[in-house]
Every structure is written in structure tokens, then in C-alpha cells.
Amino acid sequence: MSDRIGGIVDRVRSFMETDVYPIEDGGRKEFYSILPVLEEKRQKVKDLGLWTPAVSKEWGGLGLSLWEFGQVSEVLGRSPYGLFIFNCNAPDAGNIEVLTTQGTEEQQERFLRPLLAGKIRSCFSMTEPEHAGSNPVVMSTTAVRDGDDYVINGHKWFTSAADGAAFAIVMAVTDPDAESPYARASQIIVPTDTPGFTNVRNINVMGDEGEGWGSHSEILYEDCRVPVTNLLGEQGKGFAIAQERLATGRIHHCMRWIGICERAFEMMCERAATREVAGGLLASKQTIHNWIAESRADIDAARLMVLDTAKRIDESGPDAVHIEISLIKFFVARVLDTVLDRSLQTHGALGMTDGTLLSFWVRHERGSRIYDGADEVHKSRVARRILRNYGLRIS
């Protein structure tokens, strides 16, 4: 770790310990009830000069590379509120990235600048209930050109952070007859107050009906009309833009998951070192020894894999590391699932309650093995690439 990023990580860690951990309360507070406190913390982060660390200096951020931000993201991921307080939470972080690289001056002025300032939130609308979310080239939502407008019709769900968002970035089919299925969809900005945009509900996930940036909404687009100037990038480039976004997004997610792992690991060790059971402390049991040693190895291996992939993206771009991106996605998700389960088991019945963050993370992070491409999809992709070296091409 360089002196530069080391200093930033230390400052972020100090802020998390003094200002963020004390407000967690087991993750029980809903978004809008704790929002005033979160806004106070966000202003303090701005005052400290740590706001939007992943954003370029040109746009008011710290200008960290992906490798550098990965290390910050791990520290922020240790709390459910960390990334939001520093204005680098999903899906805003991905939308900011797309708007900085693909947005027109008009789009950047209207949507990007308020998002960077933390004055508004945004959402990303791609997955549809009728189609597998891991196959973004198969969609029914359409955006038909009508004069100077697109008219959007479709049904989306798991639209991340739609509750209270000011705008959505929507994937919709604009070129249904394009020869390549990868050239049929586009990304279009839709303000959420546009007639025909309906947030049907926040989808209840494992007993939680998330609010705000933690929501997953079902959305209807019914003759939703927006100007053609709301098109992001070129028409028919929606898939390409999404893939570029997902490459860096998976680094962000994986490093956040590692932060969760580290916090859960510390909780497991503290519990084992203090909990009396028959015959002494939990920490005296060989099963606990195995969990501690294996978790330490798993977390360290995951971190090295992710940071290596991030560095290679910084140096050569995401196209050079397709396989590595898939590898870290399913590997780190498995490590997260395993470490959380071990920590919860070590806590016993307490781990099932809201007395710790463990039950919150088990509910909210089980999806890590599903979203951004299910683990099975990534594994199949990796295996097919490897088998090409043996003369096999499996469709």
C-alpha cells in the first residue's frame, strides 16, 4: 500500500470508528428514520475532504484508481452505512461513472452534478420478472422513437434504490432487429416523476421491505415519454455500457464484501474469546480453531485476488480480465457466505437476533451469489473459456 492511499485509508478507518459504528444499532433503523443522522455524517465527510473518493478530481472526488478505491471500499463495507455516507454506494456509484463517461453536457449538468453533490439519488432499472436477470440481452421493455421522444413500455423489478430516487437509468430495447443481440438495447435516463413511471412496490426481501438506497422496487413503464436527448451514449450500446459498468462494479462489491467478512471475522473471534461453554471458552474448541484459520486464509486470498484484478483493470482495461472478474465474483461471494455463517454459528442464538449486524448481513447479502450474474453463470463462463485450450467450444 502506498503512503498516499495508506493515509487516506487510515483517515477513513478513523472516521468509521468514531462516527459510523456508533450509529449502526444492528442495522435496524430504516433509511428515512436515520437519514437526518446520515446527512450530518455526509457533511462531515465533505468537510474532511473525503467525499466521493472513487470520482476523478475533475468532478470533485479524490481521483483514486480502482486499486486504490478497492482498499477504501473494504473499510467502508464494514458498516451498512459506510458507502452511502461517502457517496459511493451502488447504484449511484455506477450511474456516476456512466454519466461522467457517456453523458452529454446537458445530462451532466441536470443529473450528474446533483448526484455528485449528494442532493439526489438514482436507480438502475434492468432486470425483468419475465426474463433471467443474468442475461441482459433478453428483455421485453421497449423504447420506441416517436419524433423527438422515446416512448418506453415495460415491466422491471429489483430496480436498485428506486424508492426516493430522482431518476432511473433504464435498459430498453431500441433496435429489436439488430443482427447482434448485443446491439439491441440502449440506456436511457428517465426522471422518476415522468408520467407513466410507476413504482409499484418495494419488494420485501427476507422479511425486510427496504427503503431508500436499500430498496429493490418493481417498476412499470407505461407510455413513459422522455426526450431522445436522454439517451446515454449511442443507441444500441446499452449492453456495452452495462458491461463496462459491471466490471468496476464487481470490484466495488467484492471489496465491500471483504469488509463485511473482516467485521464478521472480528466478531467471531471476540465471541469465541469471551463466551463460556461447557468445558471452558468457545475459543478452546478445535472446530472454532478451524473456522478462524480457514476464514483468515479465505479472506486474505479473496483480497489478493480482487486487488490484483483491480490493478489489471487500471493498467489494461476490463476487456483484458473478463475471466478474472468472473472468478472474483463467485469466489468472494462464497467466502462472504461462509464467513457470515461461521460467525453467526459462533454467536449461537444471539446471531439470529438484531443484537448484532450478523442477521442484517445474512438477509441482505445472501443475494451476493445471485445479483450481477449468478455464481453458476460465472462458473460456466470460466469453465468454457478454459476448455477452449483443450479444443472444446461449448455453447
**Residue-by-residue pLDDT tens, the chain, 395 positions:** 677 899 999 999 999 999 999 999 877 778 899 999 999 999 999 999 999 999 999 999 999 999 999 999 999 999 999 999 999 999 999 999 999 999 999 999 999 999 999 999 999 999 999 987 767 789 999 999 999 999 999 999 999 999 999 999 999 999 999 999 999 999 999 999 999 999 999 999 888 878 888 899 999 999 999 999 999 999 999 999 998 888 788 899 999 999 999 999 999 999 999 999 988 999 999 999 999 999 999 999 999 999 999 999 999 998 889 899 999 999 999 999 999 999 999 999 999 999 999 999 999 999 999 988 899 999 999 999 999 999 988 87
Task: Tell which residue, 330, 302, 323, 313, has the closest CA to residue 389.
Answer: 323
**Would 117 be classed as within a structural domain?**
no
Q: Evaluate whether residue 109 is within a structural domain.
A: no
∠ Cα 159 162 165 (to 5°): 145
Measured distance between the N- and C-terminal CA atoms of the chain, rounded to whole angstroms: 42
Domain coverage including residue 248 = 239-390
State pTM to two decimals. Answer: 0.95
Residue 111 to residue 104: CA distance in whole angstroms: 10
| Residue 374: Cβ within 10 Å count | 17
Q: Would you tell me how many other CB atoms lie within 10 Å of the CB of residue 364?
A: 18
Predicted pLDDT at 1: 64
Q: What is the DSSP string of 302-350?
A: HHHHHHHHHHHHHHH-GGGGHHHHHHHHHHHHHHHHHHHHHHHHHHTHH
* Amino acid (one-letter) located at 197: F
CATH code (residue 59): 1.10.540.10
**Can you tell me the distance from the alpha carbon of 290 to that of 68, in angstroms, rounded to the nearest whole number?**
32
Does residue 111 lie within any of the structural domains? Answer: no
Whether residue 314 is contained in a domain is answered as yes
| Residue finishing a domain among 189, 217, 232 | 232
Whether residues 211 and 143 fall in one domain: yes
Asked whether residue 264 falls in the same domain as residue 384, the answer is: yes
Radius of gyration of the chain (CA): 21
DSSP label of 126 = -
Same-domain check for residues 277 and 311: yes
User: Residue 339 sits in a domain of what CATH number?
Assistant: 1.20.140.10
What's the rounded Cα separation, in Å, for the pair 37 and 42? Answer: 9
Q: How many domains are contained in the chain?
A: 3
344 and 362 in one domain? yes
Using DSSP, state whether 362 is helix, strand or coil: helix
Q: E strand or H helix at 178, and its extent? A: none
What CATH number does the domain containing 206 carry? 2.40.110.10
Looking at 166, 199, 232, the residue that finishes a domain is 232
257 and 210 share one domain:
no
In a shared domain, residues 131 and 250: no
Residue 26 lies in a domain: yes
| pLDDT given at position 55 | 95
The reply to whether 108 falls in a domain is no
- Exposure string of 189-199, with b = 16+ CB inside 10 Å and e = fewer, is bbebebeebeb
Q: Which residues contact 149 (CB under 8 A, 6 or more apart)?
A: 225, 226, 227, 228
202 in the same domain as 274 = no
End residue of a domain, out of 72, 103, 134: 103
Same domain, 347 and 225: no
296 and 227 within one domain: no
Residues 303 and 280 in one domain: yes
pLDDT of residue 136: 77
Q: Answer for the pair 204, 154: CB distance below 8 angstroms, yes or no.
A: no
- Does residue 46 sit in the same domain as residue 7? yes
Q: In sequence order, what are the residues at sequence separation of 6 or more whose Cβ sits closer than 8 angstroms to the Cβ of residue 50?
A: 8, 11, 12, 15, 62, 86
Residues 250 and 384 in one domain: yes
